[in-house]
Structure 1
Amino acid sequence: MPVAPPRPLTPAPTRRLMLALLAAITVTAGTVAAPAASAAPPAPPAPLGPTVTRTDQAPTGYTVTFRYQAPADVQQVHIYGDWFYSRPENIGCQDCGDARPPAEWQPGDVAATPWHTQAMRKGPDGVWTFTTPLPAGTFRYAFTHDCANELATGCALHDDPANRWQIQPQYPGAPGAVRSTIYVPASRKFPTYDTGYQAPVAKVGRLESRRYPSPLSTNPAGVHDIVVYLPHGYDPNRATPYPTLYLSHGSGDHSTAWTMQGVAHLILENAVKDRAAQPMVIVSTDFNGLPGGNEGYVNELRDNIFPFVEQNYHVSTRAQDRAFAGFSAGGSRAYTIMYNHTDLFGYHAAWSAGGPAATPAQVDSMKAVTGGIMIGTGLQDRLGNIAENSQRNAAALRAAGVELDEYNVPGVHTWHVWRPLLDHYLRTLAFRATTTGLDVTRSSAGGSRQTKVTATATVDAVSTSASAPAGRVDFYAGDTRLGSAPVRHGVARLTTTVRGELNAPVVARYQGDKLFNDSHSDPVDAR
C-alpha cells in the first residue's frame, strides 16, 4: 500500500508566515537588522501671503488664497480688495452698481467701486485665510483688524507683510495706504480679461526712490520725491539718450502709485518684449506738498524735476523726447500742460479728467505738438460726469482741428481703467512719431511717351531712439499708385516709368512698423 508522505513539523499557515518574514527581512551575518524606516516628516506649513492656483473651474479658472498673520489680540480680520463687479448698464452713479464679489463674476462685467470687506477665517495655526476666484489682472488689497464697517470706513488698512511693495512711502503722511498687489493670469478655459500686458516679466529693470532739491516743496520742506524706473538693459553710456515718460498720480496717491498700483514698469517691459515700444526711463512724480495747483506742478517739472532727472540719468533734454500722462487730478494737470505748456513735451495724455474748453490760442498750441495727444476715460466713470465730459472735450478739440487719439475703455474711476490706457499710449503713440520727406526727379524715357521717375523718401523718427524706422513707403501720383520701396537706413527709393507726362504731384506714405507710426510727405512736383 502506498506510504503516506511525512507531515510537516510546522503547520502550513505558520510556515507560510515565517517564510514571508524571512523574505521581507535581510540579515547580514554579525550585524543587527536595521530598524523599520521612520514615518515621513510632516509637510511644512503653507507660506504666508497670496498663492495663485489654476483651477480650470468657473467662473474665472483661477483662485487666490491669502494667508495673513495678524496680532494675537485681533478678534476678526477682513480682506479689502478692488475686485467687486457690476454690469456696465447698472452703474448709474459713482460708487454704485451691482457690487458683486468675484465668486459671482460674469462675462462683460466691469470692476466697480466701492470696495467691500470680506471675512477671513482663523485656522488652528493662528493664520487667517481667505480664498476667492479672481479674473485676470492686477489687484490691490489690504487687511482690516476688528473692523465692523463693510466699506472699511474709518478703519485702519494694513498691507501684507509677506507681499509688501519694494518702495514704501518716502515721507510721513504720504497718502496711499494700500501697498500690496497680486497678479492673476488669464484662463484659456474661462477667459475673463486680456491683461497679459500687465504680467510679471523675467527681464525687469530697476526701481529707484529718489529725493531731489525743491525750493517749492512744503512737504517735505525743501526737497521732494520721485520714483524712477530704469528699463531692463539700461546703459548709461548708450550712444543715443533715452526718452523719458513722466507720470502723474491722482488724488489720494503719491509717487509710488504708478509702479506699485499701476505696474507701469511691467506694462512698459511687456510692450518692449513685444517690440511695440522702445525702452524708456519712467519718472513717477508727486504733486502733494507743491503749492500753486496745476501751474505750481508745471513749475516743479520745469525748474526742479527735469534738471534733476537729466543730470542724473542718460536721458534726452529735448521736449520731443519727453512724454506726459496723468489721470484724475493728474489728468487735470495734463490738460494744463497740453493747453498752456505744450512746449515742454512732445507727447501728451489726459485720462479720466473732463478738461475745460480750449481757447483758440490753446488749440493752435496743440496743433503744433510734434508727437501726439491722447485723451481717454472709463466709459462708466460717473465721478463728476467724467466720462461724458472727457468725450465731449475730445470731440470739441477734434472739431477745432486738433489731431488726437481718443481711447476709452469699459470701467469707472479705477486702476482697471488707467492700466489699459497706459498700455495703449505706449503701444500706439508715445515716442512713435515719424516724419517723411520726399525728393522727386524725372526724365524722358522712350521718347515723349514715357517718363522715368525717381522718388526718394526720407523717414525720420521724431524722438530719440536706438533703432531707425523700418517697413515700406508707398508712392502716389495723385490717386495713382506708383509702387513701394523698403526703408533702409531711413531711406526708401523708387525708380519707375510711367506713360506720358507726370502731371500730378507725388506723395510718399510711410506705412509704419511695430515701433514707429505712419507719416506722409507733402505733395512734391517732379523736377
Structure 2
Amino acid sequence: MHLARLHRSPAAPPGRRPLRSLLAGLTAAAAMTTAAAAPAASAAPPEPLGPQVVRTDQPPTGYAVTFRYEAPEGVESVHVYGDWFYSRPESVTCQDCGDGRAPSQWLPGDIAATPWQILPMERGDDGVWSVTVPLPAGSFRYAFTHDCTSELATGCTLHDDPANPWQIQPQYPGAPGAVRSTVYVPESRKFPTYDTDYQAPPRPHQAGTLETRRYPSPLSTNPAGVHDVVVYLPHDYDPDRPTPYPTLYLSHGGGDHSTAWTMQGVAHHILENAIRDGAAQPMVIVSTDFNGLPGGNQGYVDELRNNVFPFVEQNYNVSTRAEDRAFGGFSAGGSRAYTLMYDHTELFGYHAAWSAGGPQAGQEQIDRMKDVAGGIMIGTGLQDHLGNIAENSQRNAAALKTAGVDVDEFNVPGVHTWHVWRPLLNHYVRDLAFRSTTTDVAATTEPVGRHVRLSAVATVAPVTTSVTAPSGTVDFYAGEQHLGSARVRDGAARFHKPVDAALLDDPVVARYRGDDLFDESSSIPAEAG
C-alpha cells in the first residue's frame, strides 16, 4: 500500500549555500554546454501496482484509493470487488438489503452494508487495469474478478492483489475464507467520515511480530492430528520479562479461519494503537481456528483447555492464570463465547460475545458469571438482522444485567461485517480487557479532643498480573459522606484526618477512580476500630 504524502524540503543548514545559489553561479556558456550534452530526459517510471491511497480534499470523503492490477493475457474485463457499499441505517431492515450505494455516493451517517458489488476497471495503454474509488476512513477488503458479469460476483472467481497480499496465507489446503487483500484509508479533516485511526497500521519500527504456528492436536480432523493458530507478539515483546504477558484469545466466525482476525480484523493494529495511546497494556494475541474440531462448541472448549493453552503457555512468555486470559469471538465464534462465559467461566477472566444471539442463561450460569474475575462484554451491530442477531444480543444483555450480572454492553451501527467487529474489539481492548482492579481498606481511629483521628489505608491491585501498578486517586467515604481523597502510590492510598466521631457510625469505604489503564473499584465496607 502506498500512501501519498506532501513533503516540504528542509531549509539549508546555516553557513551552507543552497543548491539553487550554486547553480545560479554557473556561467551561461557552461550551462549551455551542459544542456547541449545532456541526453534526452528518461521516461517517467511506471505507476506502481497495488492500491495507492490519495488525499483528494474533495467530497464526499476527502480520500480515494487508486487500484492498479495486472490481469493475465486474454482477460477482457476486470472489476474490483470490495466491502464498501453504503446504506442509511433506517433502510437496512433485513440481511443484505438497504440502499447499496457506491462509495462515490457516501453520505454522513451511512453504515457499510452487504452485499458487496463489483466496480468496473479500465485498461490503460500499459495494459494495467485501474480504477479510483473515493472511500471514507477505515479498513477495507477487496479482490478482483476476471470477465465477471454478475453484479454481486456470484459464481465468479476472486483473485487477491499480488501487489498487496496478506502477510499470512491460509495454512492448509481447503482452509475456508475468501481470497482478500486489505487497504487502510485515513480520515480527512476537511471531510470527516469515521473515527478509525485505531485501525491504522503502525510504522514498521513500532510493529510487533505476526506468526503462524502449528501445534499437536489429537482432536483435530483437518489437518489430522495438528491444528493452527496465528500469534501476535506486541512491539518490544520480551521473552524473558519477569512478569508474563496476558493473552487475548480470539475466534473467527463461520467461513473463516485463524488468519481472519489479524488480516481482515486488523486486531494487531488495533492493539498496537491502544498500547501507543496508553489505553492498553502489551498482550499476546492468539487467533484460533474452530474448523476441523469435532464436538461443536464443547469440542472447541476442549481444544482450548487441552491443546491450545498448553502450547501457547509453553512457547511464549504468557501467564497461566485464568485472570490473565481474555476471550472474544463473533458470530459462530460468539456462540462459542457464550458457551465459555455460561459454562466455563473458570478458563478466562474476561469474556466477550459479539454479533451472536446466544441462548438465555439459566440460574447456575448467571451465578457463575457473577463470579467472573474480570468482566463480560456483549455487543452487536444495531442493524444486524441475520437471524435477529441485533435483537437477541440486546435481549441477552438486558436479561443478564437484570439478573445482577455486570455486563459491559457496547453496540455500534452496522450489520454482520468487519466494520462492526473491529470497533467492538477496540472497545474491548481499551475499556474492559485486563483493566479490572480490587480495592480493600483498613481503617483505625484514635481520639483527638472532640474528634477522632481516622487513619485509613486503601490497597488497590490489578486483577491481571501487570508490570504497571494502578495510579490515580482513592476517595474515602463514611456512608454517603465524603471524608477526603488520597493519591495511590505503590499500590496504596493513605488517608489521615480528624473527623467527627458520629460520621464513623457508618463503615469506611474506599472508592478507586481508575486511570488510563485500570478501571475503578470499591472496597468491601470495613468497620473502623
Short-chain TM bin: over 0.9
Shift of 1:239: 1.2
CA distance in 1, matches of 2:144, 2:84: 14
Choose from 515, 518, 522 the match for 2:517: 515
Partner residue, 1:82:
83
Q: Structure 2: 5+ residue runs without aligned partners?
A: 1-26
2:337 is equivalent to residue 334 of structure 1: yes
CA distance in 1, matches of 2:35, 2:413: 69
Which SS does the other structure have where 1:160 is aligned?
coil
Partner residue, 2:211:
208
Shift of 1:305: 0.2
2:111 is equivalent to residue 110 of structure 1: yes
Partner residue, 1:387:
390
Partner residue, 2:456:
455
Choose from 356, 368, 372 the match for 1:369: 372
Partner residue, 2:408:
405
| Contact 1:485–1:493 under 8 Å retained in 2 | yes
Give the counterpart letter for 2:520 in structure 1. Answer: D
CA distance in 2, matches of 1:333, 1:182: 29
Partner residue, 1:95:
96
CA distance in 2, matches of 1:114, 1:392: 26
Identity over aligned residues, as a percent? 73
Shift of 1:39: 2.7
| Structure 1 segment 242-321 matched on structure 2, within 5 A | 242-321=245-324
| Structure 1 segment 436-451 matched on structure 2, within 5 A | 436-446=439-449, 449-451=450-452
Q: Could you report, residue by residue, the CA deviation over 1:347-370 in whole angstroms, capped at 9, with x for unpaired residues?
A: 000000001010110000101100
Which SS does the other structure have where 1:239 is aligned?
coil
Q: Could you report, residue by residue, the CA deviation over 1:456-484 in whole angstroms, capped at 9, with x for unpaired residues?
A: 00000000111111111000011111111
Which SS does the other structure have where 2:510 is aligned?
strand
Larger Rg: 1
Partner residue, 2:356:
353
Shift of 1:24: 5.6
Shift of 1:26: 5.7
CA distance in 1, matches of 2:434, 2:38: 66
CA distance in 2, matches of 1:33, 1:458: 79
Give the counterpart letter for 2:518 in structure 1. Answer: F
TM-score, with structure 2 as normaliser: 0.93
Partner residue, 2:178:
177
| Contact 1:140–1:178 under 8 Å retained in 2 | no
Which SS does the other structure have where 1:363 is aligned?
helix
CA distance in 2, matches of 1:350, 1:245: 14
CA distance in 2, matches of 1:27, 1:316: 70
Which SS does the other structure have where 1:162 is aligned?
coil
Partner residue, 1:476:
477
Give the counterpart letter for 2:111 in structure 1. Answer: V
Give the counterpart letter for 2:209 in structure 1. Answer: R
Q: Structure 1: 5+ residue runs without aligned partners?
A: 1-22
Shift of 1:27: 11
| Contact 1:75–1:146 under 8 Å retained in 2 | yes
Q: Could you report, residue by residue, the CA deviation over 1:409-458 in whole angstroms, capped at 9, with x for unpaired residues?
A: 00000000000000000111000000001100001002xx1010001000
Shift of 1:34: 8.0
Shift of 1:401: 1.0
Partner residue, 1:152:
153
Which SS does the other structure have where 2:505 is aligned?
coil
| Contact 1:325–1:334 under 8 Å retained in 2 | yes
Give the counterpart letter for 1:462 in structure 2. Answer: V
Give the counterpart letter for 1:361 in structure 2. Answer: E
Rate the CA distance shift 1:521–1:39 in 2: closer, same or farther, 3 A.
Answer: same
CA distance in 2, matches of 1:94, 1:76: 30
Partner residue, 2:490:
489
| Contact 1:217–1:223 under 8 Å retained in 2 | yes
Which SS does the other structure have where 2:495 is aligned?
strand
CA distance in 2, matches of 1:301, 1:511: 35
CA distance in 2, matches of 1:323, 1:341: 13
Count of matched residue positions in the alignment of Structure 1 and Structure 2? 500
Give the counterpart letter for 2:516 in structure 1. Answer: K
| Contact 1:378–1:408 under 8 Å retained in 2 | yes
